[in-house]
Amino acid sequence: MTLFRNVVFIAAIAGLVAGVVLACMQAFATVPLILKAEVYEQAGGGHTHDHAAAPAANATDANAMSSAEPAAPAAEDEGWAPADGFERFAFNVVANVVTGIGFALILVAASEFAGGIGNWRQGLFWGLAGFAVFTLAPNLGLPPELPAMPAADLTQRQIWWTATVVATAAGLGLLAFRKSLPLALLAVALIVAPHIVGAPQPDSFESPIPEGLHHQFVVAVTLTNLVFWLVLGAAVGVVRGRLTGTASGLRDSFA
């Protein structure tokens, strides 16, 4: 029970810090781009697909999308939405904190099997691994989308995203913790396989969104997620180090 409590405590603190940082970055980096895209979307006749159900590959930025949506025209009743300004920002912070805690739980649990994250420097490396698994690899096939951009079938995207995350995590784990040529080759094959198969693509790529705006959004999402994962990993290392003291792992410590 103590081990479980420590894992949850570390994840909660680290997720809180990283989630707040991500929400602040989104307010300046990604939300303005989403608002610009919605101008083109409205001029082009509305949504081409359901962005609220975007794949989890961009989970940390789907929050910014939903929080940035202005009120729809009166003719289209899309239900309740937070008011512009502080209310939208507050809901975005809450959503990102919940997301951060979820990712932190995965990070802490995975790292404990390898001996745990001892300090913030080790946390940075684990954060880079998390960024590679949950953001970089999936985004190579399914880049972040702006409103009014076409997308393939949601179920197919979710399946490909999940398979890519699992394969990339397994490949990186083999490369980091198993020192043998056959396993290294297997690791490379796992990492590359989803991209050889290819992500599901829409029937048409026609969109009212300018290519330059989409490029800015992809760069902004990638950089904000990189900072998010670095902060998350470092925060896990700091909190875990203070919690465990000189103990070698969470199993040897008591809250």
More confident residue, 58 or 157: 157
Report the alpha-carbon distance of residue 142 to residue 206 in Å, rounded: 16
- Residue 127 burial by CB count (10 A; 0-12/13-18/19+): exposed, middle or buried? buried
Percent of the chain with pLDDT over 90: 60
Q: Is the pLDDT of residue 237 over 50?
A: yes
pLDDT in tens, 100-133: 999 999 999 999 888 889 899 999 999 999 999 9
Q: What is the mean pLDDT of residues 8-21?
A: 96
Q: What is the mean pLDDT of residues 215-225?
A: 97
More confident residue, 215 or 118: 215
Percent of the chain with pLDDT over 70: 80
In order of 17, 56, 106, 177, 208, the CA distances from 250 in angstroms are 21, 30, 15, 20, 52
pLDDT in tens, 70-82: 444 433 455 666 7
- Provide the pLDDT for residue 30: 93
Structure tokens at 238: 């700091």
Of 36-50, 93-107, 128-142, which range is least confident?
36-50
More confident residue, 245 or 196: 196
pLDDT in tens, 146-178: 988 998 999 999 999 999 999 999 999 999 888
Report the alpha-carbon distance of residue 38 to residue 18 in Å, rounded: 27
- Provide the pLDDT for residue 62: 47
Q: What is the mean pLDDT of residues 5-18?
A: 94
Q: Is the pLDDT of residue 66 over 50?
A: no
Q: What is the mean pLDDT of residues 229-235?
A: 98
Q: Which long-range contacts (CB under 8 A, 24 or more apart) does 35-41 make?
A: 35/68, 35/70, 36/213, 37/146, 37/147, 37/148, 37/149, 37/209, 37/213, 37/217, 38/68, 38/69, 38/70, 38/147, 38/148, 40/148, 40/208, 40/209, 40/210, 40/213, 41/147, 41/148, 41/208, 41/209
Which DSSP category does 46 fall into?
S
Which DSSP category does 70 fall into?
P
Q: What is the mean pLDDT of the chain?
A: 84
